[in-house]
Amino acid sequence: MKFENTEVFNLEGAVRGMRNPLESWNKSDSELKFTPDFEKRIMLPFYVIGKNDMELAQRLIKAGEPHRKFLRQIFVSVDITAPLYWWKEFDTYKVGTVANSTSTMHKLASTPITKECFEMDDFENVISVDISVKNIWSSLLVDLEELRQKYNETKDIRYWKELIRLLPESWLQKRTITLNYENILSMVKQRKNHKLTEWSLSFINWIKELPYADELLFLK
């Protein structure tokens, strides 16, 4: 499971809008700063949330969803490569999320099917318990690749249909996701102790790297 090209947008706008209800903009102490990128020889902007603004943000978060609307205005874009069984659970979060995915329909037969096409992060732990799992996978990979080659040779749609039908849910799919901090806060609450390590480890560890994750997303 991979997370690539993470970008966070509109921290400044979200904090500014957070003070609109009480018109307390004069109390805002956040500011835009710059840090050097020596490789590109440019100055990169980054937004620093001040103490006053952070205290207000945390009070609003603790007050509940109706009061923390500013979280919905902090946007995140990321490329996630994850197995189909993980995407099925992610798809329950429809509100405020958008996704564009690679196409199994169009691209499944275009490249060889190998073990690298599937989620195998803890595979060695599994086969140490039951060696037959390794044998099942070895046979399945051979069969899937044979179906793929048969389809490419003959263009007979029946081979392609069986390939789709037999494809395991651990097949890796890449999607470009857009979501916001409110979505992510909900996922943290619901998934941080999930028995799938793709949630409880991979996804949660990615969230911890987002700006102000400890202060806004893991606030106790």
Q: What's residue 125's pLDDT? A: 60
pLDDT tens by residue, 65-77: 999 999 999 999 9
What is the Cα–Cα distance from 57 to 87, expressed in whole angstroms?
31
Q: What's residue 60's pLDDT? A: 97
Find the mean pLDDT for residues 112-129.
74
Average pLDDT over all residues of the chain:
89
Q: What's residue 119's pLDDT? A: 87
Instruction: Select from 172, 61, 59 the least CA-distant residue to 107.
Output: 172
Taken as a whole, the chain contains a residue count of 220
pLDDT tens by residue, 132-153: 777 888 888 899 999 999 999 9
Question: Which amino acid makes up residue 70?
Answer: F
DSSP states along 123-185: HHHHHHH-THHHHHHHHHHHHHHHHHHHHHHH--HHHHHHHHHH--TTBEEEEEEEEEHHHHH
Strand order in the sheet with 2-9: 2-9, 75-83, 172-180, 98-101
